[in-house]
Structure 1
Amino acid sequence: MAREIDDPEGWYGAGAPSLDDIETLAQAAYARLPETFRALCEGLVIQVDDFPTEEVLEHMGAESEFDLLGLFQGIGLPFMTAGQVSGQMPNMVWLYRRPILDYWAEHEETLGAIVTHVLVHEIGHHFGLSDEDMEAIEASVE
């Protein structure tokens, strides 16, 4: 389904959203989360990169560098103990720009909605939720 573009001239100078653009969208999405959730995310680092590393792709069994839109790395809150917090790398959420842009190009969602979805999904892993848990939650909302 083609969309009408009000000002096609505006697209001639437009480039693909940069790493900084995706980070800005992610920070805005994070800021809109309820304060109670943000408080539980203290110390969580959000990082944007073009693609996952080869090691991550191998570990996740990905067939392509475009298979992962985001990733949570760390220990979920329910699995942390006081001893693990000290001297440990912070929990991190990775958002992968190029796979996100590829997904955006093929779907009818806004870029902001996709970035928000990926961010919230990965934060769900920070809370100790599995992919199946989050799918069930999303299905109950729909």
Structure 2
Amino acid sequence: MPPIWAQSPAPSIADFAVLAQAAFDGLPPEFRALSGEVEIRVLDFADEKLLDEMGIEDAFDLTGLYDGVDLARRSVFEATPPSRVFLYRRPILDEWAERGDVSLEFLVTHVLVHEIGHHFGLSDDQIEAIEASE
């Protein structure tokens, strides 16, 4: 049976939260254990201030973001605020519609795993190399 949102024009933020949780729950247990403290949030877009700070002109160019101190830079001697992964619904939907070659579930999982990779201290280049080797 198709998901309930398949009959609506676009999945809502709440629908995306369900997709993100399902994606997280489907990850290997070891991966989940290491990233378990990461809060996953879904928003329509990144805010203008963040986009300006990142030098991004088009909000559709940012599908996800890791915000926090990665595991490689943490210290037991300093309090660390919770890490967060943001998934941006509208840019993900736009990429999904443009591509047409992957499921929305696949794309949400891809963005989520990419951002959790930053939580582990991996750079974009390292994450892309891992993805290319699969």
TM-score of the pair, normalised by structure 1? 0.86
Q: Verify: 1:123 aligned to 2:116, yes or no.
A: yes
Output the amino acid matched with 2:94: D
Map of 1:1-142 to 2, 5 A cutoff?
14-84=8-78, 86=79, 88-107=80-99, 108-141=101-134
SS at match of 1:23: helix
Flag structure 1 segments of 5+ consecutive residues without an equivalent.
1-10
Shift of 1:138: 1.1
Report sequence identity in percent: 53
1:63 is displaced (CA, Å) by 1.6
Kindly report structure 1 stretches of 4+ aligned residues shifted beyond 4 Å. Answer: none
CA distance in 1, matches of 2:75, 2:81: 14
Count of equivalent residues: 128
Report the CA distance between 1:140 and its aligned residue.
Answer: 1.2
**2:77 alignment partner, SS class:** helix
> Quick check: which has more Rg, 1 or 2?
1
- Aligned to 2:60, the other structure's residue is in SS state coil
Segments of structure 2 that go 5 or more residues without pairing to the other structure are 1-5
CA distance in 1, matches of 2:29, 2:81: 24
3-state SS of 1:83 partner: coil
Instruction: Return the offset for 1:109.
Output: 1.2
> CA offset at residue 54 of structure 1?
1.2
